[in-house]
Amino acid sequence: MDTLTINTAEIDRRLNNFYYSNPTIDLSYIEKISSSTGIFQHASFNIPNYHHGYCIDDNCRALLLLMMAQKQENLGIEHPLFSSYLSFIFYAQNEDGSFKNFMSYDLRFLEDKGSEDSQGRTIWSLGYLLGNESFDHYWPVARGIFDRGIDQLLELKSARAISYALLGLLHYQERYPEDQHVLNLIQSLTKFLEVEFQMCATDEWPWFEEIISYDNAMIPLALFRAGKQLNNQELLIIAEKSFHFLDSILFRGDHLSLIGNENWLKKNGEVCTYGQQPIEIPGILWLYQEVYNIDPNPLYIDRIKRSFLWYLGLNDQRMSLFNAQDNSCYDGLESYGVNKNQGAESNISFWMSYLLIKEMIFKEGLISRMQTDI
């Protein structure tokens, strides 16, 4: 393990202090940057930036967040924006089952078909909904969108997009194991990832592509879950190799250091730390939780805690991305410091991470808890 300049007791103290001050999820900023149409993509500082309109990516993320919050926080009532986010997805679907992505403020779609990542992410949110009986009152409409959308997944060539889709298919298949069509899709998509890994990976670069960009943890996460659900050892071996490679890149010294979007990491290249994004954290938390469930090494719990504290200043620049005045999250770490815009992706990612830490660490008792009512 690397030499840790901030010890475990200090990590626990920081987490305890934050959750003591913020004992429940606060969706007020998410509501602020949403409308009856959906959630706005970007913000100018702490107000929605209408110039950039909406996108299906963020509406899928927002829907996932509301579902997580409703299940975990026992909200008791359905959030009124739930139907807005799901309606956006419904409206964005094309006749062939694919989805448009970007929509202007005046409600015009700006493309005929969205990116591969947006296709996969949409199936992820729908699969999560269909896999949880808590949301069965939306089952008919969600199932219709899902059924129309899944066949176009075989056209995907992006490892990340396929991983998003797999997560949704696996949620669905866990509840409906008798659905042979979905099982066949899962097997086809996991085979694609397996082949991509075999074609690209070397001993020094055990990865699926020759570039590592954003939300990278989702790929080994999807393979861990698929390997476990399908009882496929080969998938688990690939997941483990790629996980350890990613782990060796992400943690330096006492903190998480993300790959910046100013210059993605190329094979045999150097890591750029400018342009680090909050979207990375939920996937990292899910991945380390998955690995910990297989191998309960205390190091992985430490990684989980430090990953969340990236938001609160345990990062390369020792600067917090949490805006306590608005209970919102800034957009990233740039060469000049913190990007003070507070868009949808960043804030959804932060509150997802908040819920994950609350579930993983506090409810499971994996922290030296102070006397609080968390």
3-state secondary structure of 7: coil
> How many Å apart are CA 235 and CA 239, to the nearest integer?
6
Residue 354: pLDDT band (50, 70, 90) is very high
Model pLDDT for residues 222-238, shown as the tens digit of each residue: 999 999 999 999 999 99
Decide which of 200, 225, 249 is a domain's last residue.
200
Domain annotation covers residue 43: no
Residue 327, pLDDT > 90, answer yes
Domain enclosing residue 91, as ranges: 53-200
**Number of structural domains the chain divides into:** 2
CA 178 from chain centre, in angstroms, equals 28
Residue 374: pLDDT band (50, 70, 90) is very low
Decide which of 200, 219, 236 is a domain's last residue.
200
| 89 and 60 fall within a common domain | yes
Q: What is the largest distance, in Å, between two alpha-carbon atoms of the chain? A: 55
> How many Å apart are CA 101 and CA 61, to the nearest integer?
13
| Radius of gyration from C-alpha coordinates of the chain | 20
Q: What is the pTM of this model?
A: 0.96
pLDDT at 371: 35
Domain annotation covers residue 48: no
Model pLDDT for residues 160-187, shown as the tens digit of each residue: 999 999 999 999 999 999 999 999 999 9
Contact (CB, 8 A) for 19 and 362: yes
pLDDT at 365: 76
3-state secondary structure of 99: strand
Using alpha carbons, select from 125, 133, 136, 137 the residue that is nearest to residue 63. Answer: 125
Contact (CB, 8 A) for 307 and 284: yes
